[in-house]
Amino acid sequence: MGRQMLRKRFVKTTEKHENTHGLHWAMAAVFIVGDMAGGGMIAMPNAVVNAGLIPGVIMISLCAACSGYTGLQLASNWTMMQRRWPKYRDNCRKPYGEMAYRANGPRMRSFIAFMICLTQFGFATVLILLAAKNMAILLHFFFTIKINYCWLILIVGLIVWPATMLKSPMHFWQVAVFSALSSSVAVCLLLIGFVHDAPVCGQDVPERDFNLQNFFMAYGTMVFAFVIVLYYMIIAVGGNLIYGATVGDAIIPSVQLQWVQQAIGASNMSIMTMIMPSIFFLFLNASEIKREKLLKAGKITDGEHEARATISDLFTYLPRRTLIINGLSLSFGILGGLVSTIFSIVKMGGADVSPPCYIQYVRQGGLPFVAPLAGTVNCCGTFRNITVSSIDPVGFCAAYTAP
């Protein structure tokens, strides 16, 4: 009886499986767009400035190609797992971890679980900081008040917190649709801002000298998220041509058409997106081919062979073309990610970083809720003091003080 159940569990089927419940692939794509497009889009111009226009565009294209390829690999891996292990046809709350387990064992599953938590924590931190910064700009222009940045971080966190209590994406798909639409609207508004600022800012576009450290740090920004290449290319190239080296960490504060700036408002990736999908793809496919050949040779019976592929099996069972393509993809992800991580750590160690909020609280004996008003726009020009519509740069430009 137990042997028959085992055979039934691992029986191979060639029929295409499609879940009768859950998210449709189109809605899943909307979730990805809403989750990834916004943060990457507004940071992309600074990455292109660091890398240089032509190298930056080439790197964006390469990142997009590699991300698209590894995305297809993830889909292929999951389809194979559903065919080979029918239990994955039902709900699976940790598909990436299960993929790691089937490809490389329980230790890899634990590593992936750790990396997912680390990545999501970092991603959420970046987006909360970004939202707090945009909210500060919005409050500054519309209400002429500047709330202390430390308090805004807490406020944004409290606003977002209830959404984290929802059970699954199926329960808040409306948020994903709104987020994806807002990213599209943001592109349109930024383009309007580019057109508005171009006649003035385009007259003085400073360029940064090429720097290898900045180039590889730009790689890290570009790998941060890749969903809609068109969004990224338009905003990255437009921001570079109009604002040049005056672009800050985000493009929004560079736009001087104030209502556009506010309307956009408060709107470890290499490993997870470039490297691990290819590794799992190689090992799962080698394991599948090895299993099929052993079945045909009569050396094993269906359902009894669960040995994972070894590194030598990759070269034995996989086509050379597959090895070459994945070798190039892995090289791009590993080398780029490693070098950019090293440069980022070096720069972070030498940077003049502001003390954390809790340190400021202890030193100052508290934090005022309202901070003094100051400029918030990254004005264009060599001296970052060129404004559109004859606005006084004092109190408007973030990096300018009157002589």
Per-residue pLDDT tens over the stretch 72-99: 898 899 989 888 888 888 778 888 999 9
Per-residue pLDDT tens over the stretch 279-338: 999 999 999 998 888 888 777 766 655 678 889 999 999 999 999 999 998 888 788 777
**Contact predicate 183/267, CB 8 Å:** yes
Confidence (pLDDT) at 239: 55
Helix (H, G, I), strand (E, B) or coil at 398: coil
Confidence (pLDDT) at 316: 92
Sketch the domain layout of the chain as residue ranges.
Answer: 39-269+357-364
Q: Is the pLDDT of residue 240 over 60?
A: no
Top pLDDT among 262 and 105 is at: 105
CA nearest neighbour of 270 among 342, 334, 217: 334
Which residues 6+ apart lie within 8 Å of 266 measured at CB?
Answer: 131, 134, 135, 138, 156
Q: Is the pLDDT of residue 238 over 80?
A: no
Q: Is the pLDDT of residue 40 over 80?
A: no
Q: Which residue is associated with the tokens 């393509």? A: 325
Per-residue pLDDT tens over the stretch 335-359: 877 777 777 666 666 555 567 787 7
Helix (H, G, I), strand (E, B) or coil at 380: strand
Confidence (pLDDT) at 256: 39
What is the C-alpha end-to-end distance of the chain, expressed in Å? 88
Share of the chain above pLDDT 70, in %: 67
Confidence (pLDDT) at 4: 43
Measured distance CA(211)–CA(226) in Å, rounded:
24
Measured distance CA(361)–CA(90) in Å, rounded:
50
Top pLDDT among 199 and 81 is at: 81
Which phi and psi (to 5°) does residue 338 adopt?
-65, -50
**Encoding tokens for residue 107?**
């230790």
CA nearest neighbour of 378 among 238, 199, 251: 251
| CA atoms 6, 10, 15, 18: torsion sign | positive
CA nearest neighbour of 42 among 263, 251, 246: 251
